[in-house]
Chains A and B, each alone.
Chain A
Amino acid sequence: MKKIVTPITDEAINEIAVGDMVYLSGYIYTGRDAVLPKVLELIESDGLEKAGINLQGSVIFHTAVSPAGVGPTSSNKLEIEGSIPALSKAGVKLHLGKGELSSKTIEELDKYNSVYAVIPPVTALLESKTLERKLVAFPELGMEALHLLKVDSFPAIIAAAHGKSIY
């Protein structure tokens, strides 16, 4: 098992290959279809810093954050997959979710040296590996707001990297 720690560097991404089983630790953002288009608007309007968001070397986990815990939603939903190129360009190094992505998205990931990993929907296990959780932006979206989690060894598999896909 490889270990990945945030913030993720370009060098670390270069050492990752499709099919690698990894443990992910550090701070990770959460967001899904409701909030990711809003984060894209912040990128466009140069509003990330003011909103307290730093995407350099970051991870975005496609999940809601509810009292039940966290777990991946399908990353190929229009708003989620559509956010991947712009977020990668803005510094996101790892997108974490589930399901197959299109070949176009895989190319875009490669262009910005970013990767996609899938994580099993193992909520109880993830809860036991979550050290902190904090609301960052868009509180009106409730469990779909942008959150930041501090995690220790989230299990994942690299599903798309360097133009290649596991599917």
Chain B
Amino acid sequence: MTMKQQEMIINKIKDTLVRAGSTFREDQKEAYRQAIKKETLPRAKWVLETILEDAEVAEKNRSPLCDDTGIPHVFLEVGPNKSVTGADLEAIRLGVAEGLRELPGRPMGIKGDDKQRLDQSGGLDEDSAGVLPAPILIKQVEEDVLRAHVLMLGGGPAIRGITHRVFHKHSVSVVTDEIVKRASEAVALLGCSPCALSVGIGRSQFEASSLMIEAMVYSNFAVQSDLEKKITDKVNESNVGPLGLKGATSVLATFMKVGPQRASGIRVVCMRPSCCFEPRMASVEL
């Protein structure tokens, strides 16, 4: 890889991270506009309008949507004639670091050895780039492209998310009812609603979590399957509302990815109540 190629990847990832942390996608803005129209409670409407206003200011200023700027997660799509080298991965890592400095990300990386990082006794890294990205996910795709998606995942949904098995009893409703139950409790406790529920269903904890990320990557607030819509509607019956202050809009959409399954009595479900700003994602072709 030439210096120029490396610089190009660094700059593209930097810009994509800043866009992820500061921009709502058009389908997300439209989901908010529709929710504002439907809400009848004035304070629920007002919260939704304030979040949308925040998104407009953040996009204009390229500044963080929320002060919890999140943990960077990178998802790579690799087409048939494309390759990913160690040098590419290093350039992506550097691009993430530069992006965090430019956004700027909240300096919340913990320094030190295993024990110090566990109890936070190692102190905070003052550099925004001290927040290291999660391991990169790579997906083989048919389109001949090398594309990176950067997601900035906040702490609230990490606290309230659950990855746990469901005994399916050979019934789809048993699985979706359990997702609704877990999500309704999580959304009520999250505070930063309205949510977008991100769900991955797989054969292991790793697979379910990866599918949950994939569901966020391919998410579209305007395109909902029957199952996704059913989950959204059911959780909205809980009347948690924006910011937990009651109202019709607890959940704007559900993004669910069902992976391959095994012959067994359980499905492993990863459910993340993505907060009012998520999926906080932007994409770029490298």
A: which residues have CB within 8 A of B?
A: 19, 21, 63-64, 66-71, 74, 98-100, 118, 120-125, 127-128, 142-143, 155, 157, 159, 166-167
A-B contacts, 14 listed (Cβ < 8 Å):
A68-B105, A69-B64, A71-B66, A71-B68, A74-B191, A98-B191, A120-B51, A120-B276, A122-B50, A124-B65, A127-B63, A143-B124, A155-B46, A157-B245
A71: chain B residues within 8 A (beta carbon): 66-68
A143 and B43 contact, Cβ closer than 8 Å, known pairs A68-B67, A100-B244 = no
> Cβ of A123 and Cβ of B64 under 8 Å apart?
yes
Highest count of chain A CB atoms <10 Å: which of B107, B242, B243: B243
| B122–chain A nearest beta-carbon distance, Å | 13
| B156–chain A nearest beta-carbon distance, Å | 8
| A134–chain B nearest beta-carbon distance, Å | 18
For B124, give the chain A residue with the smallest CB separation.
A142
B53: chain A residues within 8 A (beta carbon): 122, 125
Complex-state Cα separation, A68 to B47, whole angstroms: 21
Complex-state Cα separation, A64 to B66, whole angstroms: 12
> Cβ of B61 and Cβ of A66 under 8 Å apart?
no
A124 and B54 contact, Cβ closer than 8 Å, known pairs A70-B67, A142-B126 = yes
A166: chain B residues within 8 A (beta carbon): 245
> Cβ of B276 and Cβ of A121 under 8 Å apart?
yes
> Cβ of B128 and Cβ of A67 under 8 Å apart?
yes
What string of 1s and 0s marks CB contacts (under 8 Å) between B262-286 and chain A?
Answer: 0000000000000111000000000
A128 and B192 contact, Cβ closer than 8 Å, known pairs A67-B106, A70-B67 = no
A125: chain B residues within 8 A (beta carbon): 50, 53-54, 57
> Cβ of A120 and Cβ of B50 under 8 Å apart?
yes
> Cβ of A128 and Cβ of B245 under 8 Å apart?
no
| B241–chain A nearest beta-carbon distance, Å | 11
| A33–chain B nearest beta-carbon distance, Å | 12
What string of 1s and 0s marks CB contacts (under 8 Å) between B31-63 and chain A?
Answer: 000000000001100110011011101100101
B: which residues have CB within 8 A of A?
A: 22, 42-43, 46-47, 50-51, 53-55, 57-58, 61, 63-69, 103-108, 124, 126, 128, 191-192, 242-245, 275-277
Highest count of chain A CB atoms <10 Å: which of B22, B66, B105: B66
- 5 nearest interchain CB pairs? A124-B58, A122-B54, A71-B67, A68-B106, A125-B54
| A154–chain B nearest beta-carbon distance, Å | 11
A98: chain B residues within 8 A (beta carbon): 191-192, 243
Highest count of chain B CB atoms <10 Å: which of A21, A71, A159: A71
> Cβ of A124 and Cβ of B191 under 8 Å apart?
no
> Cβ of B43 and Cβ of A157 under 8 Å apart?
yes
For B159, give the chain A residue with the smallest CB separation.
A74
Complex-state Cα separation, A138 to B28, whole angstroms: 40
| Given A21-B43, A67-B104, A125-B50, 18 extra CB contacts under 8 A | A19-B43, A66-B67, A67-B106, A67-B107, A68-B69, A68-B103, A68-B104, A68-B105, A68-B128, A71-B68, A120-B50, A120-B51, A121-B67, A123-B54, A124-B64, A127-B57, A143-B107, A167-B244
A70: chain B residues within 8 A (beta carbon): 67
| A66–chain B nearest beta-carbon distance, Å | 5
Complex-state Cα separation, A66 to B128, whole angstroms: 10
Cross-interface CB contact of B191 among A68, A99, A157, cutoff 8 Å: A99
